[in-house]
Amino acid sequence: MTNRIRYPKPLQKGDAIAVTAPSSGVEANLHSILKKAKQNVEDQGYRIVEGETIWTEVKAASSTKEKRAEELMGFLLDDRIKAILPPWGGEFLMEILPLMDWEELKKAPPKWVLGYSDISTFLFSYTLLTGTATAHGTNFFDLSSPGWDELSKRWIDVLSLEKGQTIVQHSSSNYQSSWEKAFNNQGTGFDLDTPTEWKVAGDKKEAEFSGRLIGGCQDTLSILLGTPFAPVKKYIKDFAEEGGIWYLESCDMAASGIYRSLWQMKQAGWFENTKGVLIGRPANYKPAKDFELEDALERIFADMNIPVVYDMDIGHMPPQNILVNGAVGTVKVSDGKGTLEMVFD
């Protein structure tokens, strides 16, 4: 197999990090949070370059799709910028995908993009269309906290990794069960109030598996099915030898919506040659009568005879591990705790 993942150069102290909003921008009353995040990241030894889009929010987006695409493309092609951290997710990132010059991005040096929620829409397509590794994890807004939690702060370690190196991350001790306290006390950090337990679907207490990582926010990735921006089948074929690990999390889906989305992905062949599945803690979740998340996972994956780990540190119920699309991952889970090892092969 000649196709390989393109890993961006390791992030180094003094490097410039761009903050741009390809989905939602930030309202004026929250600009102070952006300034706190900027100060915190600069205190770690990096330079922050702020895009124009981060300061505005109109009609559920930072700007027009054309402006958002232009600013993101500009930073991706700017040799002075070494990484891109959007402020947070949003609703309509998919609008910019047809406006990106994917052929130009294939030729350009690979560059780190880090984020989650709607940002995973871009991460997913950027990896699949150009072969560039992307990082799913904490957003820039969350870095406004005066003290970063043990999982979130690993973004620096992951983006600083050399090709050929390995990094190990662990499950959290506690997670945030509600955003209420964090929203009422902006910039003070997460309220990690509930014990974390990584669970294995079925009757199993342990799981161990390896494969090449791919995934993101289920709410937004599912809309890419059938479009030119999700060549999943090619990715599966290119890396058939290693097999894949899917990681997925949801923001606004009930159990029924999660099931329908997983069913659609399965019918489209997205789970072919999958070695295991990682499911993040679902946000704004509710069952469909007596139908729960566990029922959805059972119906989709039971006949595939693969391990499925859920309630993981991924997505909208922080803290979260940093997962790299394209990296080879090894997951080990035992008695509610676990590790995620990644190698930049």
pLDDT in tens, 51-81: 999 999 999 999 999 999 999 999 999 999 9
SS3 297: helix
Give the span between the Cα atoms of 26 and 141, in whole angstroms: 9
Here the tokens at position 241 are: 């030898």
The predicted structure's pLDDT at residue 315: 97
Partner residues linked to 289 by β-bridges: none
Give the span between the Cα atoms of 83 and 18, in whole angstroms: 6
Across the range 317-321, mean pLDDT stands at 97
249 classed as catalytic: yes
82 contacts 15 by C-beta, under 8 angstroms: yes
Tens digit of each residue's pLDDT (9 = 90 or more) over 206-250: 999 999 999 999 999 999 999 999 999 999 999 999 999 999 999
Share of the chain above pLDDT 70, in %: 99
Phi, psi of 132 (to 5 degrees): -90, 130
Write out the H or E segment, with its range, that includes residue 232. helix 232-238
The predicted structure's pLDDT at residue 27: 95
The predicted structure's pLDDT at residue 184: 79
117, 125, 144, 222: which one is catalytic? Answer: 117
212 contacts 242 by C-beta, under 8 angstroms: yes
Q: Place 167 in a pLDDT band, splitting at 50, 70 and 90.
A: very high
316 classed as catalytic: yes
Enter the CATH code of domain 174-343: 3.50.30.60
Q: Which range among 56-65, 124-133, 175-184 shows the weakest confidence by mean pLDDT?
A: 175-184
Query: Residue 33: pLDDT above 90?
Result: yes
| Average pLDDT value for the chain | 96
Query: Residue 3: pLDDT above 90?
Result: no
24, 249, 250, 261: which one is catalytic? Answer: 249
Partner residues linked to 213 by β-bridges: 245
Share of the chain above pLDDT 90, in %: 94
Relative to beta strand 166-170, strand 174-175 is unpaired
241 classed as catalytic: no
Residue spans of the domains in the chain: they are 16-163, 174-343
Write out the H or E segment, with its range, that includes residue 33. helix 31-43
Would you state the torsion angle of the CA atoms of residues 235, 236, 239, 242, taken in this order, to the nearest 10 degrees? 140
SS3 166: strand
- As assigned by CATH, the class of the 16-163 domain is alpha beta
Relative to beta strand 308-312, strand 199-200 is antiparallel
The predicted structure's pLDDT at residue 205: 86
57, 171, 222, 316: which one is catalytic? Answer: 316
Across the range 39-62, mean pLDDT stands at 97
Model pTM score: 0.97
Q: Place 2 in a pLDDT band, splitting at 50, 70 and 90.
A: very low
Query: Residue 323: pLDDT above 70?
Result: yes
User: At what angle are helices 293-301 and 255-267 packed, to 10 degrees?
Assistant: 10
